[in-house]
Amino acid sequence: MSKKVKDFQVPVHEQMLIFEKKFREHMRTDVALLDRIMSYIVKSKGKQMRPILVFLTAGATGQIVDQTYRGASLIELLHTATLVHDDVVDDADYRRGFFSIKALWKNKTAVLVGDYLLSRGLLLAVDNGDHELLRHVSTAVKEMSEGELMQIEKARRLDITEEVYFEIIRQKTATLIAACTAVGAASSGASEEIINKMHLMGEKIGIAFQIKDDLFDYGTDEIGKPLGIDIKEKKMTLPLIYALNNAKWLKRKEVIFKIRTQNTNQKVVREIIDFVKSSGGLEYAEEKMHEYINEGRAILDELPDSEYKLALHQLISYVVERKK
């Protein structure tokens, strides 16, 4: 059954409306240029999956309280800061279908805006004594940076093993999802054992989310991201790693050479996509994705039944069924 964001948002719909007002207040500033940019960021926000995760986990493990709202804001502030900086690093002109901050206001302003968002998040946590929440989110940001740098290092050599791939996506993507579920549980008054379990659940969901993203690279042109973009950027994702690991030595050498030297040639990119498909790379990645999803569900099922738990199950279904 296909899931949409509105399906699993139902139990926290009212809380999300309140959150949006609080989040805008946390971003308010007397500097006119900065306030204009903050308004633009709020207007161009995405599906808000991360704050939804915070609220649903809090509801499933205890009570949604003021600290939950601050935790969701902290996640969004620090995550948005990393996205603004990412667009500078990647020289990206678009973000979620909108012009990026970097495209509209140039690099210097974008870097300063990212710094501002980061400092607002830190102050929000410190001023309210939310040190545990800050620890979860700061750890996630640190690991996200490490994951990106590890991927850059490995892309130069094209020698990523499956083990290294999973460590990269755990750090790059899953660690922030894990911070959402840990922050939700920590804000609700849950025990340390439950907080740790929710962190692990979020990590499993996050890894599955990234594998799904990697599969889009081999889909059709109508799907959210351009076909073959990972190959063009020399990103070694799970379908390709599996295909190379199961190829004969000469074929493996040929494909790696093409990725290294002809990665912008659309015809070559198509050939590599066909090679991955014929090698069973997509089926293998799907199988791994469902393994992580099932492990995440098993952890969630340890919680008592509630509308929040049901919504989290629906969110997990959305992760693997989404079209972009």
Q: In the chain, what are the domain boundaries?
A: 5-214+303-321
For residue 188, the one-letter residue type is: S
pLDDT in tens, 40-54: 887 777 778 899 999
Identify the pLDDT of residue 8. Answer: 74
5-214+303-321 CATH:
1.10.600.10
Distance (Å, rounded) from C-alpha 215 to C-alpha 238?
9
- Exposure class string for 63-77: b at 16+ Cβ within 10 A, else e: ebeebbbbbbbbbbb
Q: Which of 34-43, 73-82, 92-101, 289-298 has the lowest mean pLDDT?
A: 92-101
To the nearest whole number, what is the mean pLDDT of the chain? 87
Percent of the chain with pLDDT over 90: 48
CA distance 65 to 206: 25
186-199 in b/e form (b: 16+ CB < 10 A) is bbbebeeebbebbb
Q: Is the pLDDT at 95 greater than 80, yes or no? A: no
Going by pLDDT thresholds of 50, 70 and 90, the confidence category of residue 5 is: low
For residue 88, the model assigns a pLDDT of 85
Q: How far apart are CA 207 and CA 187, in angstroms?
A: 24
pLDDT for 223 equals: 47
User: What is the reported pLDDT for 39?
Assistant: 82
CA angle 201, 202, 204 (to 5 degrees): 65
Between CA 104 and CA 152 the distance in angstroms is 27
Torsion angle, CA of 29/32/38/43, rounded to 10 degrees? 130
